[in-house]
Structure 1
């Protein structure tokens, strides 16, 4: 970093002045949401009701069937220089706030659709420019085409996919980060709807895994970290939005490392205490599941309902179907699934839902309705191939990969122990709608779709513990 600064001074500091200028633009883009959003939209009148009650009802119904689809800048990023990562994270978080605010205004009928989308584009453009210039100013190369990512579109949902169960909505937090929504004002919430659920007994068995070869690593290592009895929750995401409070826009459930929040560092994680019994300091987290019982307290950004505490959490590291595994590097970060799969598409989706006793039937884009006495099972199989160099990447995906269909890793990647998270819930039957009893927390515009479920993991195992896990997996033993 000292050498980079010296080179910048030799060039008259042009690169750093340019970087600071763009950082100002990022701040301006954020300020339009954080500070100016309320003022900008205070004078916009709703179109609903202008043609009388009937016209207003039609307009509300039309708006209820819409959501906002924007290019995901975070997925486009390649390598982000270390010194630019905090500024880039803040810019990405500003984009999320802008979309959330626009979704609220769209669903609430505040102004015409065209005006809402034009305002959103005007906010996104300088923020995206700031992200690109922060990457460039620290010696990186932003991806081509970023300038065209400010345009968003309104998506009309199918008729059967509109509306929200009674009691959905929740109080949006007031003050900073609320996209101009007045304090305590409940935003409209879309989803989940009955079409998002299916009776698990009507689903055909479909679970298939590659057959282990002669050199397969067939053992396992299970780390016992409890089920968040300590009540460790926050709406941060230290992997996707480091240094940004409420960077997830939904609440996460944590087990393992007790210090994890938006401001965690490798050093702070390594020095913290853990809920894991074996000295594992890793952090494991996922969006909370909520019973849709009308409880309006404690949610973020339109997520509402009573948080369901897991009745069981199992964290198991498995082997490779084609060979031995090597140790994960300490502080390796992995995100599996995509919190924006509803609008991004399913290329990175990795949600898996089932019911106890029916786990040969796995659902990717539906929630299960389980028979009485059967718990809801939510599971994630993480990427098991590592590039051998990086503990993270600009889009938090390129440094790891899933194994091929035969279990082998793509060229340039090596097999590491595969984390499988299995989380069980007892979903109440009383006080919740029969056809929409629960939902995962999500970004507002993602409508609580099951396909948006995701999990996060940072490996903070001491080296000796990771070596023990690798030996168990490679030797075909089941260890704890």
Structure 2
């Protein structure tokens, strides 16, 4: 069932040509890793955007290796971590995104917990990670020290790219067990939105964040964590559409990284609990009530050449010849201690890092 479901999602992605030409879909022999990473920590630190700052401006939910810290050196992270919350135990990378809160009528907030994604049974919430390539020897795996960022936390309006080319979207599941999940990410004309859904989602909300797939071939990072990577010349690539032409400034094709986070909104589907004016009650941990400011951070930490081998060997799903996997009873135990002592589970009067008027504290 797992393979059939994932093949259906991939086929849907392949059916649509990439914007601006350059071909569509994976070529024969392409790879698509899809695996779960359990929650490592909920904390208000950000070693990519605000290194060393404790606390950082807003809450993130983090998965991956236990080397995650307020500062992370430009080094081989795989050599610093001793465990990972991901199914592939060679992947000691870290992935993190903003958290989502529910705002009640009385103005208090509750962080919405993540739940295990479809076919990622047993995970303690977290993030589902994809790595996709069009074929053997057609992408260059990331190097130790590599890191990047996707999205714009300050964006409050649509990108104007159209749903199939947006790099962040939400899917509103209509009922339990991922009801309505029939299209590839960001392809459903009814259930996918670039901003927060405006109707209740009794089965949960899935947030997708897609990273660029072209690299300048030189820099492991850049001051804004974006300029060393780029989209294909035809514009941002849809999920699993990875064979677009890279620009001359960023000629090296890298695996397409895609994150999926499923938020358990089943407890918040009663519209009687929503704001009296009928507006949607969700807010990102950075204070964004639109959802357009969702973003993702990535610090590479695969051991040795394992990611390159996975991309070249047409690996598919959560298993790969030559790579080892671990069950979630083990992965769920890979956690790190919170550095900022604040409540991330109960009802709070304001978002962590913000006052009751919605202004950032300490600024």
TM tier relative to shorter chain: 0.5 to 0.7
Alpha-carbon distance in structure 2 between the residues aligned to 1:455 and 1:271: 22
- Does residue 275 in structure 1 map to residue 85 in structure 2? yes
Alpha-carbon distance in structure 1 between the residues aligned to 2:134 and 2:106: 44
Q: Cα–Cα, structure 1 residues 402 and 352, in superposed 2: closer, same or farther, change >3 Å? A: same
1:339 maps to 153
- Normalising by the residue count of structure 1, what TM-score does the alignment of the two structures yield? 0.48
- Does residue 261 in structure 1 map to residue 48 in structure 2? no
**1:471 deviation in Å?**
1.8
1:240 maps to 49
Alpha-carbon distance in structure 1 between the residues aligned to 2:302 and 2:171: 30
Q: Cα–Cα, structure 1 residues 422 and 220, in superposed 2: closer, same or farther, change >3 Å? A: same
Alpha-carbon distance in structure 2 between the residues aligned to 1:261 and 1:268: 14
Q: Cα–Cα, structure 1 residues 366 and 209, in superposed 2: closer, same or farther, change >3 Å? A: farther
Q: Which has the higher helix share?
A: 1
**2:153–2:293: 8 Å Cα contact kept in structure 1?**
yes
**1:212–1:321: 8 Å Cα contact kept in structure 2?**
no
**1:213 deviation in Å?**
6.7
1:414 to 252, 258, 267: 252
2:110 maps to 305
Any idea what SS the aligned residue of 1:254 has? strand
1:384 to 187, 195, 213: 213
Greater mean alpha carbon deviation, residues 457-466 or residues 351-360:
351-360
In our comparison, the structure showing a higher alpha carbon Rg is: 1
**1:316 deviation in Å?**
1.1
- Normalising by the residue count of structure 2, what TM-score does the alignment of the two structures yield? 0.62
Alpha-carbon distance in structure 2 between the residues aligned to 1:286 and 1:293: 23
Any idea what SS the aligned residue of 1:467 has? helix
Any idea what SS the aligned residue of 1:258 has? coil
Q: Which has the higher strand share?
A: 2
**1:214–1:322: 8 Å Cα contact kept in structure 2?**
no
Alpha-carbon distance in structure 2 between the residues aligned to 1:413 and 1:368: 40
**1:477 deviation in Å?**
4.5
Q: Cα–Cα, structure 1 residues 310 and 346, in superposed 2: closer, same or farther, change >3 Å? A: farther
Q: Cα–Cα, structure 1 residues 295 and 251, in superposed 2: closer, same or farther, change >3 Å? A: farther
1:464 maps to 305
- Structure 1 unmatched runs, 5+: 1-206, 298-303
Any idea what SS the aligned residue of 2:37 has? coil
Alpha-carbon distance in structure 1 between the residues aligned to 2:289 and 2:112: 14
Q: Cα–Cα, structure 1 residues 214 and 255, in superposed 2: closer, same or farther, change >3 Å? A: closer
Matches within 5 A, 1:280-291: 280-291=91-102
Greater mean alpha carbon deviation, residues 262-271 or residues 412-421:
262-271
Please give the per-residue CA displacement for 1:368-409, whole angstroms capped at 9, x wherever unaligned: 53554x321110111111111111012211111122337221
2:30 to 209, 214, 218: 218
**1:233–1:253: 8 Å Cα contact kept in structure 2?**
yes
1:133 maps to none
Alpha-carbon distance in structure 2 between the residues aligned to 1:395 and 1:237: 13
**1:294 deviation in Å?**
6.4
Q: Cα–Cα, structure 1 residues 370 and 393, in superposed 2: closer, same or farther, change >3 Å? A: same
Any idea what SS the aligned residue of 2:91 has? coil
**1:420 deviation in Å?**
1.1
1:369 maps to 199
Any idea what SS the aligned residue of 2:86 has? coil
Matches within 5 A, 1:88-237: 208=16, 210=18, 211-212=23-24, 215=27, 218-226=30-38, 228=39, 230=40, 232-237=41-46
**1:322–1:407: 8 Å Cα contact kept in structure 2?**
no
**2:60–2:97: 8 Å Cα contact kept in structure 1?**
yes
Please give the per-residue CA displacement for 1:42-65, whole angstroms capped at 9, x wherever unaligned: xxxxxxxxxxxxxxxxxxxxxxxx
**1:294–1:305: 8 Å Cα contact kept in structure 2?**
no
Any idea what SS the aligned residue of 1:317 has? strand
1:425 to 255, 260, 263: 263
**1:351 deviation in Å?**
2.3
Matches within 5 A, 1:317-336: 317-320=131-134, 324-336=138-150
- Structure 2 unmatched runs, 5+: 1-14, 118-126, 174-179, 235-242, 320-363
How many pairs are equivalent? Answer: 259
**1:287–1:453: 8 Å Cα contact kept in structure 2?**
yes
Report the aligned-residue RMSD.
Answer: 3.4
